[in-house]
Structure 1
Amino acid sequence: MNSPVQKRLYFILFFLSIFLINVTTAQAEEQTWIRINQLGYLPEGVKVAVWCSKQNQEINEFELVNARTNKVVYRGAAGKAFGAYGPFSQTYRLSFSDFNKTGRYYLRVNQARSPAFKINKDVYKGTADFCLRYMRQQRSGFNPFLQDSCHTHDGYTLYGPMSDSTHVDVVGGWHDASDYLQYAATSANATYHLLLAYRDFAPVFTDHYLANGLKGKNKQADIVDEARWGLDWLLKMHPKADWMFNQIADDRDHSGMRLPKEDSAYGRGYERPVYFINGEPQQRGKFLNNTTGTSSTAAKFSGAFALGAQVFQQKDQVYSQLLNQKSVSAYAFALKKPGVTQTASVKAPYIYAEDNWVDDMELAATWQNRLEDAFNYAKQEPITPWLGTDTAKHYQYYPFINLGHYELASRLPENSQKTVIGYYQQGINRVWAKAQHNAFYRGVPFIWCSNNLTTSFALQCYWYRNLTNDAQFLELEQANIDWLLGLNPWGTSMVYGLPAKGDTPVDPHSSLTHLKNYPTDGGLIDGPVYGQIFKNLLGIQLYNPDEYAAFQSDLVVYHDDFGDYSTNEPTMDGTASLVYLLAAQESEGKKAKRRNRK
C-alpha cells in the first residue's frame, strides 16, 4: 500500500503530465494551420486546402466537418507530403473535390482547424460587381465615392509636336494604384478587361449605379458604365489621328499623402503634365527610359476601342462608330514606329518598364481583321516571356499574358487555331513545371504586383480550358484563384473587403485609407514579393507590428501595413482583370445551377 507521501507525489506527477500534454498540444496547434479559399468553393469545382506546419511532421488523413452540427461528413487521405515552403517545414494538399454537398464546413487535422467556409453555387455571386466599387473610387474628374471633383485642370503637354506646356483637356479616367498617376497602357488594359467581362458574362452583372458612379439605375449594367468611363478618357488621350498621350503626372506624385482634389505637386497650381507618345526615350530621373516606338500603348488603345465598338453597337451606334474610327487611327499610330512605349519618371528609378509589344499588335490586328498579320505577330512572341521564370522587371511583359491569343484563336482556320492554342498550353506547362513541386501550386514569381500576374495566369488557364475543353490544368487554375482569396501562407485574402467577414487587407497603401480611414472595397493589392526585393526597395518602413510575422520568410513577404507600398497597394488594372476572373467563376456557378435544374 502506498504511503500518503507517495500518493501525493503520484497526484502531482499525474497533474504535471496532463499540464505538459496540454502545453504541448497548444504549442503544436500554434505551429500548424489549414489554409482555405475564404470565399468558399463551388460544389462541382476543385476543392483543395493546404495543411502547413512549422514542425516537420507527417499526417495521414483529414476530416471535413459540418460547421453547424460539428459532425464529420467526409474523411480524406492527406496524400503526398510536399515538404518545406516559405515559413513552413511541412505541407500537404487536402483535396475534397469529390464532396459536393452544399453547406458550411471546416477542415480538421488533429488539433488544427480551418476557418469555416461555404460550399455553394453562389459563393462568387456579386463579387465582380463588388470589385467595381474600387474602380469607381479611383475615378479622376468627378469622383462618386468622394462626391467631389478632382484633377479638373489636366494638363500641360510635354514631348509633343505642340509647344511644351500647351493645355489639353484630358480630365477623366482612373487613378492608377491608389496614388494619382494615370497611365494610358494600364487604363486601356483595364478598359479592355471590363468590356471583355461584359461581353463574355453579361448575365452576372447588375445595375445599381448611374453612369456618373452615384447610386441609381440607368438600365445599363454598372460594368458597362465603368468601361465607358475608361473609353471616354482614352478618347481624350487620342484626340487626333496623329496625337496620342501616354500618361498624366509622374513620380513627383509620391511627394506625400493628400486627397486627390488637393493635388498640386508639379509647381503649376493644380495642373499636371501630360506626356505625348513620340516613340523616343523620355525622362527617367537622371536617365532616359527605354522607349523604342509607339506600338505597345497605341495597340492597346486600338484593341480597347474595337471591343468597345462591338459592345456599344446596339446601345449607342454613334458612339460605336466613333470608337471604330479611333481603333483604326490608333492602329495606324501603333505602326508609326514599331516598338515599345515606356513610362516617364523624374525622381525615382521605378517605371513601368514594358519591354514587349508584338502581343499588343496581335490583339489590335485581330480586331482590325488583319488575321495574317495577327498570326505573324503571334509567332514572334508565342509565350509571354515571364511564364516559367523566377523574375522579371516591373511590368516588363505587360499585360502579363497574351490577350491576343484568346481573341485570335477563335477566328483562325483549324490548323492555325491549334498552333495559337498550343502557345497557351506551352506557357502553362512552364509554370506547372515549377508549381507542381509545392503544396500551394505556386509557379508565379514573387515580383512586384505578383497578384496581377496570378490573376492573369489564372485567366490564361481559363481561356485555354474554354478553347479546348481540356481540363488538365483545372487544379492549377483554381490554385491561383484560391491563392488570391486566402489559400496562401498568410491565410489572408488579397482583395480588400472580400469576403466581408474574412481576413482581408485593412491598412493598404492608399491616401484615402491612411488619411480618412475610407475603405478601398474590392481593390486587389499588389501581393507578396521576394524577401530580397522587399529589403532593397527605397522608402519602405512598417508603421505597425506585423500581424503576419510568423509567416514571413526569406523567400517571400507580405505586409498589411500602409508603409509597404510593394505588397499592399491596390491597383486599378489588377482589379479590372480580377473583375473578369470573378465573373467567370460566378458564371460557372450559374451553369451548374442550370444543369441541376434539368
Structure 2
Amino acid sequence: MASFLPMTLQLRFPFLHLAPKVMLVRSLLIIALLISSLALTIHDEPSAVIRINLLGYRPNSPKIAVWGSLTAQTVTSFQLIDEQTNQDVKQLPVGQAFGEYGPFRQTYRLDFSAIQKPGRYYLRTSDGTRSPGFRIDEDVYKGAADFCLRYMRQQRSGFNPFLNDSCHTHDGYSLYGPMPDSTHIDVVGGWHDASDYLQYVTTSANATYHLLAALRDFPSAFGDTYQTNGLEGKNGQPDVLDEARWGLDWLLKMHPTDDWLFNQLGDDRDHSAMRIPKLDSLYGKGYERPVYFATGQPQGMFKYKNRATGVASTAGKVSSALALGYQLLRTRQPDYVDQSYVARLRKRAQSAYKLGLQKPGNCQTAPGRAPYFYEEDNYIDDMELATVEQLNVAGTTGKQALTQQKTALDFARKEPVTPWMLNDTARHYQWYPFVNIGHAELAKKLTGANRKTVTDFYKSGIETIWQRARQNAFYRGVPFIWCSNNLTTSFATQCFWYRQLTNDNQYAALEQANFDWLFGCNPWGTSFVYGLPAQEDTPSDPHSAFTHLKNYPIDGGLVDGPVRGSIYSKLIGITLHEPDEYAAFQSNVAVYHDDYGDYSTNEPTMDGTASLVYLLAAKQAERLSPTRSVSLPKKINRPVKKLTSSKATDPKSSYVKGAKIRGDTTARRFALVFTGDEFADGGPTIARTLRKYNVRASFFLTGRFLRNPAFAPIIRQLVREGHYIGPHSDQHLLYCDWTKRDSLLVSHEQFTADLTANYVALSRVGRQRSDAKLFLPPYEWYNDSIAAWTKAEGVQLINYTPGTLSHADYTTPQDGNYRSSATILKSIRTYEQQKPAGLNGFILLMHIGTAPNRTDKLYDHLDELLIELQQKSYRLVCVDEL
C-alpha cells in the first residue's frame, strides 16, 4: 500500500494566520463544539453491541457472533430469532466470559453453530442487545468473488473499462537497466497498486497467481459477464480468467527477454496530487513514467535507497504466475488465446525461474522522495512455489521430478513459517506474500512423511497465531500492522489449505473467525469490503481518488484495515474530514476510520482484493465438514437405514454395505477400473495399451482431476475412445472414519453437493449424469449411509473386488505398506487360479497416476497383464457391462 503525501499545516489548520484574540475565541468555540459532539456521541452509542458476519453463514459452518460491552455488564444467554416472524428459534447459553478487548470491558462468543436451517435471523442477548439481521444459507457467498473482480477491473492501467478511457499509455522509460537510462520500454497495462497509480511486479504477480488459482480450484464460483477488455459482454470465458490475463500480459512486458526483468513502474513522485488516472506528466519526461530494472542492488533516484540483495523474490513470483497461466490457458479455445502466447508464458516462466536461481535474494521497490518502499526481506517462499510450478510446466517425471521435488522441499525447510506470524510487528510488506503458497502446492505433490512435514509447517504457523487468538472473544491473533486485512485474508486462506490438505478441522473456528472479521465481526461492526454486502455497513469514504473526487463506487475493494493505536498515533498528515462514527470503538489495541483522511486504515489495495477473491471463491465452492468445535444436531451423524444385499439390485452380483463389488461370476469377463485425483502420469501408457488391444476400461475421476488443465488432453482421449468415465467425488473427501466405519465425517448436504460438483465437472467433458450412473467413492471407503445417499441420487455405488493388491499400486517405498509391481501382479495371478470363478465378474482397480517417488509403475505392466488374461479367454468390459 502506498499513500499520498501529508497535507500542509496551512491546510490542516487554516486559522493559524488569525490574530491571537480571534484565535482564542475560535479555539474556545471549537473546543466547546468538540465537547458537545463527544457528549452526544457517548449518549447515542449503545452500551453493548453484537458483532456478526454481515454476509451471513453457511449451514454447516461455525457460526459465532461476539457480544461486547463498553461497561462492565454481563449476559447469561442469547436467543436466535426468526427475522420474518420475530419468533424465538433457540435459546442458548453465552459460555465463558473473555473479558476486556479493545474498547470493550466484557466480551462473550455467542455460538449458534447448531442452527443449520436456512433463513434470516437476528440475535438478542439477555440484556436486550440486538444484532443486525443476517442469513443462514448455502448461497450466502454466491457471487461475492465476482463482485470483488469489479475493483480489479477498475484498477486497470492502459485501457480502463470502468472509465471507458485509457491512461498511462506512454509507459515507460528505463532506469538502472543494461540499456541506456531513459530508453523507451513498452510496459503499458497491468493494475494500479492501490489508490495511487504505482505498479509493482511483486504485488501484480501475486495477484495474478491468486486469480488463476481461484479459477483452477473453484471454477464454479465465477460467471461470464465481461469481455477480455473488461467491458460488459460474454466471451465464453470466466471473468476471473479475463482479469488474470490482464496481469499476465503486463508481466510478460516486464520480463520481455531471458535476462531482462523490470521490478516497478513509477515511484512516489506519483503522490504529489490526487487525480483520476489520465496521462501523468510528473516524472520529467513527458507522459512517460520510469520503469525500474531489477538489478538485485540497492536503488533510489533521490535521497533514499532500498536494501535489495537479489532478484529471486520478484523472479520467483513472476515465474509462478506465468507457469500457472500457461497451465490454464494451453487448453483454451484458439479464438481466445493463440499458441504463440501460450508458448511465451512457458518460456518466460522458465527464464524467470532461472534468474531467481542465478540471483538469490530480496528485490525491494525503489523509493522516490520519501523513505517509504516495499521492504521485502524473504525470497525462499517465492522460489519454493516457482520450483513446484516448474514441475507442472516442464512435465518432468521419474528421477528428474524427484530431484525437483527435493529442491522445493529444501526451500520449504528454510522458511517453514512465514515470518510475520512469529513477530508482532513488521516493516511495510517485509514478508510478502503474506501466505506461503508454495507449501500448499508442494504438499499436493508429496505423500507420507514428506507431505506431513510440509503441512506441519502450516500447522506451526497457525498454532502460533492461535495461542494469541484464543485469549480474546474475536479470536484475533493477526497483528495490527499496515494491511492487517491482507494478512487476515492470507491467514484464513492458510487455515483453509491446511484443513483441505489434512482433514484436520481443529482450527476451523479460527479460520472462520478471521473470515468473519473481514465482514463485520470486529469491534467496529463493519465489513471492510466496499459495497459488500449491499445495504450494510461497509466503507463509504475510502482513501481513494475515485470516490473522493468523482464519487465513483469502488465496488469490491478490500481496504487496508485496522492498525495498532501506537502506529496510528505516530502517523504524519492524517486528518479526519468527518466526525468519527466509530469513536466509541477505537482503542490502543486497534484503530479504524471510514474516512478519506485516514490513509493508513481505509485505503483499498489491488493485491489484497485479489487474495480475497480466492478466499471468497473457496467459501462459495466448498462444503464444510462438521468441526470439533461445533456442536451439530445428532441427525447429522445418525446412520440411515441399512441397505441389504437382497434388496440391492441384480441377484448375480455381489454387494457389501450397498455397494456392488463384483459382477456375474459365471461369465468369463472382468472390468478394469482406474481412479484419478492428483496424478495422471500413466494416462498415455494406459490409453495406448487399451487401444492396442481394442478394449475399453472404466475411469472414475474427481472434479479436481477433471478441472486440471494439465490432464485435459488425456481426458479428451479417453472420452473420444469410448471408455466409461464416471464420478469419484469432487474434492476426494474422506466420508467415514478409518477405524470406526459407521462414524461419518461428512453430512448428507456435503455429500450431495460434492457429488453434484463432480457431475458438473463431468458434464464439461461431455459426460452427463445419465451416462455415468455408477459412483466409485474416494479412497474406496464408504459405509451404508453413503450407499443410501448415493441411491437417493439415482446412482449406484460400486467398489473394487477384494482379493488382490492391485489397488496398492499408489504406495511408495517410503510408506510402511509399500507393494511392488511384482508383488501386486503375483497377487492377481494367484487369485485368478482360484476355482471355480477366478477373475469372473471381477472389478480390478488401479490408478491412472501415482506419486513421482513411486518409480515402479504398475501401469507399465498392463500390456503383459492383458496378454495373459486374453490367453485365458477373459473378456475385458466396461464396468457398467458387468
TM range (shorter): over 0.9
Of residues 615, 622, 626, the one that matches 1:588 is: 622
Q: Whole-Å Cα distance in 2 between the matches of residues 495 and 284 of structure 1?
A: 36
Local SS of the residue matching 1:386: helix
Residues 125-274 of structure 1: matches in 2 within 5 Å?
125-274=142-291
Q: Which residue identity does 2:493 align to in structure 1?
A: L
Task: Among all aligned residue pairs of Structure 1 and Structure 2, give the percentage whose two residues are the same amino acid.
Answer: 63
Aligned partner of 1:14 in structure 2 is none
Quote how far apart the aligned CAs of 1:285 are.
4.8
Aligned partner of 1:43 in structure 2 is 59
Q: Which residue identity does 1:396 align to in structure 2?
A: Q
Aligned partner of 2:504 in structure 1 is 470
Aligned partner of 1:430 in structure 2 is 464
Aligned partner of 1:304 in structure 2 is 321
Residues 549-568 of structure 1: matches in 2 within 5 Å?
549-568=583-602
Quote how far apart the aligned CAs of 1:491 are.
0.2
Quote how far apart the aligned CAs of 1:29 are.
7.8
Q: Which residue identity does 1:209 align to in structure 2?
A: Y
CA contact (8 A) 2:100 2:106 kept: yes
Residues 103-118 of structure 1: matches in 2 within 5 Å?
103-109=119-125, 110-118=127-135
Q: Whole-Å Cα distance in 1 between the matches of residues 609 and 422 of structure 2?
A: 23
Q: Whole-Å Cα distance in 2 between the matches of residues 72 and 319 of structure 1?
A: 60
**1:453 to 2:487 alignment:** yes
Q: Whole-Å Cα distance in 2 between the matches of residues 501 and 121 of structure 1?
A: 20
Determine which structure has greater relative contact order: mean sequence separation of CA pairs < 8 Å that are 6+ residues apart, divided by chain length.
1
CA contact (8 A) 1:140 1:174 kept: yes
Of residues 344, 369, 373, the one that matches 2:366 is: 344
Q: Indicate how the Cα distance of structure 1 residues 496 and 28 shifts in structure 2: closer, same or farther if over 3 A, else same.
A: closer
Kindly report the root-mean-square deviation, in angstroms, between the aligned alpha carbons of the 2 structures: 1.5
Local SS of the residue matching 2:278: helix
Q: Which residue identity does 1:323 align to in structure 2?
A: L
Residues 291-440 of structure 1: matches in 2 within 5 Å?
291-315=308-332, 316=337, 317-369=339-391, 370-440=404-474
Q: Whole-Å Cα distance in 2 between the matches of residues 297 and 516 of structure 1?
A: 35
Q: Whole-Å Cα distance in 2 between the matches of residues 422 and 349 of structure 1?
A: 38
CA contact (8 A) 1:509 1:568 kept: yes
Deviates more, 1:130-139 or 1:369-378: 369-378
Local SS of the residue matching 2:210: helix
* TM-score of the two chains, using structure 1 as the length reference: 0.94
Cα deviation, 1:183-236, whole Å, max 9, x if unaligned, reads 000000000000000000011110000000000000000000000000000000
Q: Whole-Å Cα distance in 2 between the matches of residues 389 and 28 of structure 1?
A: 39
Local SS of the residue matching 2:425: coil
Q: Whole-Å Cα distance in 1 between the matches of residues 424 and 533 of structure 2?
A: 30
Aligned partner of 2:629 in structure 1 is none
Quote how far apart the aligned CAs of 1:126 are.
0.1
Q: Whole-Å Cα distance in 2 between the matches of residues 250 and 75 of structure 1?
A: 57
Q: Which residue identity does 1:334 align to in structure 2?
A: G
Q: Whole-Å Cα distance in 1 between the matches of residues 570 and 590 of structure 2?
A: 13
Aligned partner of 1:21 in structure 2 is none
Aligned partner of 1:77 in structure 2 is 93
Q: Whole-Å Cα distance in 2 between the matches of residues 93 and 542 of structure 1?
A: 32
CA contact (8 A) 2:190 2:199 kept: yes
Q: Whole-Å Cα distance in 2 between the matches of residues 255 and 200 of structure 1?
A: 41
Quote how far apart the aligned CAs of 1:539 are.
2.1
Q: Whole-Å Cα distance in 2 between the matches of residues 284 and 417 of structure 1?
A: 46
Question: Which aligned runs of 4 or more in structure 1 are off by greater than 6 angstroms?
Answer: 26-29
* TM-score of the two chains, using structure 2 as the length reference: 0.64
List gaps (5 residues or longer) in structure 1.
1-25
Q: Which residue identity does 1:594 align to in structure 2?
A: A
Local SS of the residue matching 1:322: helix
Q: Whole-Å Cα distance in 1 between the matches of residues 301 and 314 of structure 2?
A: 18
Quote how far apart the aligned CAs of 1:263 are.
2.1
Q: Which residue identity does 2:266 align to in structure 1?
A: A
Quote how far apart the aligned CAs of 1:326 are.
0.7
Quote how far apart the aligned CAs of 1:284 are.
7.0
Q: Whole-Å Cα distance in 2 between the matches of residues 469 and 313 of structure 1?
A: 32
**1:288 to 2:302 alignment:** no
Cα deviation, 1:370-428, whole Å, max 9, x if unaligned, reads 21111101000000111143111111110011110000011123211110010000000
Local SS of the residue matching 1:525: coil
CA contact (8 A) 1:29 1:112 kept: no
Local SS of the residue matching 2:419: coil
Residues 50-89 of structure 1: matches in 2 within 5 Å?
50-89=66-105
Quote how far apart the aligned CAs of 1:28 are.
11
CA contact (8 A) 2:169 2:279 kept: no
CA contact (8 A) 2:304 2:370 kept: no
- How many residue pairs align between the two structures? 573
Q: Which residue identity does 1:70 align to in structure 2?
A: N
Between Structure 1 and Structure 2, whose CA radius of gyration is higher? 2
Cα deviation, 1:289-308, whole Å, max 9, x if unaligned, reads 11000100000000001111
CA contact (8 A) 1:312 1:319 kept: no
**1:496 to 2:512 alignment:** no
